[in-house]
Structure 1
């Protein structure tokens, strides 16, 4: 169970490493740089369509692009890329809405002090709406923790970790992102569908589900506490 738990956390970390910078950058572009018109409408329709895609379709797309077209085997990076596709719309829309809903005084005050648009975005607007962006990241991570269909075709259903091996190029190294890795959600699915091979499959699946729920709850609470601390600091109040 420890290997599956580590794979779950590592895969979500990799997916956020990919989706958060791209999603935040896309949200900034749509809120501050894109002009109202057909192009912006097209982007919004594309994001809405992407957010409504079934995860199994994204998994098949990831299998075609990240596995077959690259000639690779099932690996955690392919799974992280597939989960990133599912997370991008949420992070993008959250960032755009957070920036657009800030009082206009934030931006005007920065411009009056002589700041450029780039400085205003990164020194004023982003810090002010960081708590809301973190909320979007929490929701995106929660989907990554519980995702199974998209990982079924990309991350694989096997895990072989040697915890004494830290050679990143080795297929048994825990930190190698290009090795197969079964997550907790996949492990639950395997136990409930192929459990006839294991007499304790039901108990293992139930225990895995409990661990997954606790993991998501712990992550959400930690991220929420961090968000509240950032909010208090940015508001100038004492902790």
Structure 2
């Protein structure tokens, strides 16, 4: 190969590299602009009329001026219950698949099944919860049914994300811990989980945000109403959440200010999801800064 040909190829590679760099930067900027536009649109319509009274007041079926107090409480209540169920099982399943499951055909089939369940529409899990709690156990549409159904929905994604986070830990680190005399469980507890914690927390953030904004599962398993009380901890009460209430107000409500209620509810939904992601991230940021010091 002549020097001139080699020079032309190098110049062409540099041009392609520069074009690819500009292209990826452009795509990233477009995505950021789209996200900011969505946030500004939703928050711009809902934030001006948002106040504490709206967050604490009971919803109204006929008269204007209703609030979202019980449905907002139900959203947090069902979310916490679903995370209490799904996080230990999902994280444990991910650790088992990454560290304990033998590399055979059964494990591969199991992994494919988990990945497939992650992409199943949420309405399917809602139908499953409806069949189990409303038809088989005959307990109706309840907070308990909604929380367990949401846990079923989040388990595959949480298990898969945890498995990938644990697999990302370098084998050299684990081998070093074994060389120090640690058992496998000690290595997982003191080395693997802390190093994979950022990925695990990311998975928890994803499933928490998805659960808080889920409507199809809640509509089929927890219902389209509340008990009428602001703080109702009864697991067998109906459990309409903020996302379901937003859908109902936008499509079915007959109150005069339905549009304003929907805008303010959407703003609250977005703000809560953003705050949840921030709260989950703060401990990781503090831990990373301590490790760097």
TM-score with structure 1 setting the length: 0.90
CA contact (8 A) 1:131 1:228 kept: no
Within the candidate set 235, 238, 241, 1:180 is matched to 238
Q: 1:124-181 deviations in whole A, cap 9, x for unaligned?
A: 1111111110010000001001100011110111112545xxxxxxxxx622222211
Whether 1:67 and 2:125 are equivalent positions in the alignment is no
Correspondences of 1:1-239 after superposition (within 5 Å): 1-162=68-229, 174-195=232-253, 197-233=254-290, 236-238=291-293
What is the total number of aligned residue pairs between the two structures? Answer: 226
Superposed CA RMSD in Å reads 1.4
Runs of 4+ that moved beyond 6 A = none
CA contact (8 A) 1:131 1:231 kept: no
CA–CA separation in structure 1 for the residues paired with 2:229 and 2:255: 24
1:167 counterpart residue number: none
CA–CA separation in structure 1 for the residues paired with 2:229 and 2:148: 24
CA–CA separation in structure 1 for the residues paired with 2:133 and 2:194: 35
TM-score with structure 2 setting the length: 0.74
CA–CA separation in structure 1 for the residues paired with 2:116 and 2:143: 25
Structure 1 segments unaligned to the other structure (5+ residues): 164-172
CA–CA separation in structure 2 for the residues paired with 1:153 and 1:215: 23
CA–CA separation in structure 2 for the residues paired with 1:90 and 1:230: 25
Structure 2 segments unaligned to the other structure (5+ residues): 1-67
Give the superposition deviation at 1:91: 1.0
